[in-house]
Structures are given as C-alpha cells and as structure tokens.
Chain A
Amino acid sequence: MKSIFYYLIFPGFIFSATIGLLAGWFDRKLTARLQWRMGPPWHQNFTDILKLLGKEVIVPQGTKLTFLLSPYLGLIAAVLVSTSLGRSIISPLESFGGDLIVIFYLLAIPAVALIIGASSSRNPLASVGVSREIKLLLAYELPLILSIITIVIKCKGALQIGQIIQQQMIFGSNVFSFSGALAFIVAIFCMQAKLGIGLFDIAEADQEIMGGTLIEYSGLPLAIFKLTKAVMLYTVPLFIIILFLGKDLGPIFLIAKYLMLLVIMTLIKNTNPRLRIDQVLRFFWRIPTILGVIAVILAIFGK
C-alpha cells in the first residue's frame, strides 16, 4: 500500500506532474516577460491538459496498439524516476545499491517511447523527427555518462543515490571543485538536450517539421506525452541537483536551486536560436565530451 501511495501521490505521479506543469508555466511566463509580453495565467498548462482530455483521439491505420500504448511507457518510466529520487531525498539509505545506474537508464526511456510511438504513426514528418531524436540521444548520452562517472569517482565509488547525498552532506557539494564544476557545465547542456528545449528543440521543431515526433498524436495520448514532458521537467533538474548541489536539500534550498536551474535554462533558450542536428552532434562530441574527459581525469587525481 505504502509504495503505491509513494508511486501515485507524494513523490510520484501527482506531485511531480503538478510541479512540472507549474515549472512549464514559469518557463512560458518568463519567456513572455523577456519578450515584453504578458504571458499566460498560472493554470494555463493544467487547462491545456484538461482540454486535450476532451478531444477526439485519431489513430493512424493499422498500428493501434503500439501507437496508443507507447505514451504510457514513457510516463511510467519518468514517474518511477521521480518517485525514486524523491524517496532518496526523504530517507537517503532506503533504496538499493546501484540505483544510480537504474535511474540513468530509466531517464532514457521517455525518449525511446517517443521514438516507438512516432515511428508507428507512419508519418514522413514524424520519421524525420524520430531520426533526429535518435541522433540527439546518441549525442548527449556520452557526455552525460562522463559527468556522472566524475561524480561516482568523487564520491569514492558510491553507486547509490543516498550515499552520494550523504557524502555531499559531509564533504560539501560536488560542484565546488574543479572537476565538479566542469562536470556541472556539461550536465547543464545535457539536461537541456534531454528535455528537448531551446537550442535542442530539434526533434519537435514546431515551426520546421510541425511538431515532428508528436505530429500524429491528438487527444489523450498527446496529453500523456505533455504530462511526461512535465514530469521530466521536474525530474531531470532534480537529478542534477542531487548529483552536484546535494549539500542542503531542505525544502527552501531545494526550491531555490530548482528555480536557479530553470532560469538558466530559460535564459539560454531565449537568447539562442535552435541548432541543426549536425551542429548538435558536432557540439556534443567535441566540447562537452572533452570537458567531461578532463573532469574525469581531474577527479581521479582528487581535484
């Protein structure tokens, strides 16, 4: 019973979706204020989801099962990550050893769900979006792994989220060292690519390929994809905070750190144009990868 409560309500689905939708509104409002506009009211993202529930669901010919089930796959994985991270903050040593690796793999599943669902819709523009999503996944996974390895080395080989938090409580946040700072910069770029916003909004480019991977979705499945995005917008920054800024994880400090990451992301999004997919590959496999390797070497020598 308790784990169902955790999964569905408090650190899990309802809590993370609410925070994620509010964060999405914060992003939209800040964007609007930066462009000298008024921006939407605070309940706008909730209204969008509610409205999508009332719309007709159109299914392309012949691929019903994959098309309708893949949104749930992504949502389940994202909620699992948010539950696990939330419980780790509340009671650090509750989970099992090696959950860092499990969480890292689960964070890739929403992208995989998007790839499966979009490619089963048989739309040419969706297939363009799918190929871009796959390339994006290949581009950002390597630097992200390198920055996580840096943290693992710095925490003396701890592969459990709770141990990483405790290590930082004793020795201070990982970001306040040379290797930690380098890995943090790499992780911020990877976070934006994982969320698909700003510079890396290439798989879903609304102006260019008309929604890309989401082009054939309508009604309830689209609402679930939007919810998955909201949960990811809560989860991925939280993951970065736990890995790099894990000294004080009280509610006020946590909210302040989360808002700081959101503001950084929104500012980067509003001051830079979207990249092409070849530019993204070139960018990720040069600068962040080299920075990540340097961070790993520095971490080995204890800097």
Chain B
Amino acid sequence: MNIIKRAFTKSIWVFHMSVGSCNNCDIEALDCFTPRHDLERFGIQLIGSARHADALLITGAMNKKAVVRMKKVYEQVPKPCVVIACGICALSQHMFKDSYNVAEPLDKILPVDLYIPGCPPKPEAIIDGIVKLVDKVNKANR
C-alpha cells in the first residue's frame, strides 16, 4: 500500500474550480503549465472531469450561489483528495469580507490542505506550495 501512497504524490491530477474570482488567480494557475514553469515534469496535470481529480484547486471569494455547486463537486471527487485554496480571496475573502453576496472563507466550508496567499499568487508561489504539500503528505504516510 505504501507504494500506492507514494504514487499519489508523484501524479496529482488537478481539477480547477473558480468560485467567483476575478480571473487573476486562474490565469496564474494556468501559467504553471506553460513552458517556463512546466508542472508536468512533476506529473501534475489539469484534468477535465471531477471524477478523475486528486486535487481541487479553488480560487475566488465564495459566492453564495457558487458555494452550493462547489460542495456538489467536492462530493463527486473520489477520495482521497486534497483541497487547495489559491489566492487571498479563497483564504480570507480579502476586500469582499462582510459583503452581502459572499458566504464564509473556504476553510469553514471544506477541509483545506494547502493555503497559497497572494493577490494573485505567483506561479513560483503555487509551485512552492505544491512542494510543501507533497512533503506534508509524505510525512503523514511515514
């Protein structure tokens, strides 16, 4: 079983989900797959269907309408899966805090495994965060 758990950290398939973001985090997340940063060398791929995903990359400020859909998608992802909060909006709602149309920060709704702050976070910051997440999963397995 240990080898399967190790394989999990070497091939993370990411389902990218925007919950009312301004698109900056989405662009930076896609930048990680361009030739300059190339996340595929670590086996990380963007995937179309939530059923294939190992990680949910969530960006945005938690719209009240989008949160319902986000919970549905989280239920559809086969476990084990990790949840990545990308950008300061997903972490703490930033300047949309106390706004009329946002719910709560992400970690009050789903169990978040990785926080990547920044507005938007640089691709380097996202890669750094993923490396730290892999270390964390490896330590938990040991």
List the interface of chain A (C-beta within 8 A of B).
Answer: 28, 32, 35-41, 44, 47-48, 50-51, 53-58, 206-207, 209-211, 214-219, 222
Contacts and interface: CB of A to CB of B under 8 A. Distances in A.
Contacts of B1: 54
Nearest to A32: B40
A95 to B, nearest CB: 38
Contact of B52 (A38, A56, A222): A222
A210 B48 contact: yes
Interface of B: 1, 3-5, 7-8, 10-11, 35, 38, 40-43, 47-49, 51-52, 54, 76, 78-80
B78 A56 contact: yes
Given A51-B4, A54-B8, A55-B80, A36 B35 contact: yes
Contacts of A51: 4, 7-8, 10-11, 54
B67 to A, nearest CB: 21
B7 A37 contact: no
B80 to A, nearest CB: 7
A134 B33 CA distance: 33
10 contacts: A28-B40, A37-B40, A38-B41, A47-B11, A50-B4, A56-B80, A58-B51, A210-B48, A211-B51, A218-B51
Given A38-B38, A217-B52, 10 more contacts: A32-B40, A32-B41, A37-B40, A39-B38, A44-B10, A44-B43, A48-B7, A55-B54, A55-B79, A222-B51
B41 A211 contact: no
A87 B129 CA distance: 50
B49 A211 contact: yes
Nearest to A125: B49
B40 A207 contact: no
A51 B4 CA distance: 6
Contacts of A36: 35
B18 to A, nearest CB: 15
A15 B42 CA distance: 26
Contacts of B35: 35-37
Contacts of B4: 50-51, 53-54
B49 A214 contact: yes
B48 A207 contact: yes
Nearest to A219: B78
Contacts of A28: 40
A39 B47 CA distance: 17
Given A55-B80, A56-B79, A206 B8 contact: no
B40 A206 contact: no
Ranked nearest first, the 4 interchain pairs of A and B with the lowest CB-CB distance are A210-B48, A54-B4, A50-B7, A56-B78
A58 B53 CA distance: 12
